[in-house]
A = this chain, B = another copy of it.
Amino acid sequence: MARKHITPGKIRLTEVAKLAGVSPITASRFFRNPDALSAGKRARVESAAKELGYVPNLAARALASQRTEVIGVLIPSLTNNVFADVLRGIYDALDGSRYSIQLANTRYSILQEERLLRLFLAQKPAGLIVTGINQTADSRRIMETVDCPIVQIMEVGPSPIDMMIGFSHFDAAKAAIAHLLAQGNRRIGFLGARMDPRVQRRLDGYRAAMTEAALFDPQLIVTTAIPTSVTLGGTLFADLLAKTPDIDAVFCVNDDLALGALFECKRRHVAVPEQMAIVGFNDLEFMASSEPTLSSVRTNRYEMGRNAAMMVIETLEGRRPTDPVVDLGFSVMERQSSARRS
């Protein structure tokens, strides 16, 4: 005999089955596919489970069935507000479902991402949500061969691994610049921090729009690898102004930078928008209530997370979404900070 024998009070599936007067297998089916039971047994098992306060042992289930009900989520940052919204969407979508989330932070490193991916896949997740479309070649190969729904979030692009939901950062940035140009601005600066792949594509969109307008000038661009912050927005804006004092507008790759730039303008008594137009990116809540209100590009982060999780669930339940690639779009929110000068 190997170990201490059965703890008396413990409630296993067997106990529920016994009380309900059915076989353990039937009780098991009740929890996984109740429709397969006759109405009578279904009711008996249900009340027995409730009476005993039965909670399934997920480890045993995972071991026996060779799969889990865990959806792995790989995001590059826990601090960034953008991902907080996405996560909230994911958690909301999974709330009340049988699935749970395993979250991991790649810290903007695709090698770290690959490591975490291997770790996740070893535990046979039910599904996977990964950020962006820039994975290592190995990561991609691994994900292509694995048999579970995978959603790439935050942006759309060609050749999804499986499914994809996001928007075009290139188009979004281009639209922001188009707006600034339409308001009569000519010397439009670019402020970028962190410079992850999605921010790079916003820079590409900026470059394309400016080149089309024959207004491109590399001197207008200030970027850094440092993580973003409001303080950094002020610093970068000061740098830009030092390099190119004749700018009439600035496009910031996110709202923190935009807010920092606004504060820096106030410190320097540069009137916004009269002397300087500002546009941010993401449209965080505060943009609409600053003074002046700040223009931004609205992105649908909560919906992105929510839909991504729903796409995974639907696939798992056999109702695979008709279109594997969803473009959630964006909208340029035109506010006081980029209003046309009178």
**5 smallest A-B Cβ distances: which pairs?**
A59-B62, A55-B122, A230-B286, A266-B291, A231-B289
Q: Are B91 and A58 in contact (CB under 8 A)?
A: no
Identify A289's interface contact among B57, B59, B85, B230, CB under 8 A: B230
Q: Could you tell me which residues of chain A, from 282 to 300, have a CB within 8 Å of some CB in chain B?
A: 285-286, 288-291
Asked if A105 meets B122 with Cβ closer than 8 Å, knowing A229-B285, A289-B234, the reply is no
Q: Give, as a whole number of angstroms, the nearest-CB distance from A339 to chain B.
A: 15
Q: Mark A17-32, 1 if CB is under 8 A from B, else 0.
A: 0000000000000000
List B contacts of A256 (CB < 8 A): 286
Q: Give, as a whole number of angstroms, the nearest-CB distance from A284 to chain B.
A: 9
Cα separation A16 to B91 with both chains bound (whole Å): 38
Q: Give, as a whole number of angstroms, the nearest-CB distance from A305 to chain B.
A: 10
A-B contact pairs, 29 of them (CB 8 A): A55-B119, A57-B123, A58-B59, A58-B123, A59-B62, A59-B63, A63-B63, A78-B87, A78-B88, A78-B91, A79-B88, A88-B105, A91-B105, A100-B102, A101-B103, A229-B285, A229-B286, A230-B285, A230-B286, A230-B289, A231-B285, A231-B286, A233-B289, A256-B286, A259-B286, A260-B289, A263-B290, A263-B291, A264-B291
Main secondary structure of the interface of A (DSSP, over half): helix
List B contacts of A62 (CB < 8 A): 59
Q: How many residues of A contact B (CB 8 A)?
A: 43
Cα separation A245 to B139 with both chains bound (whole Å): 61
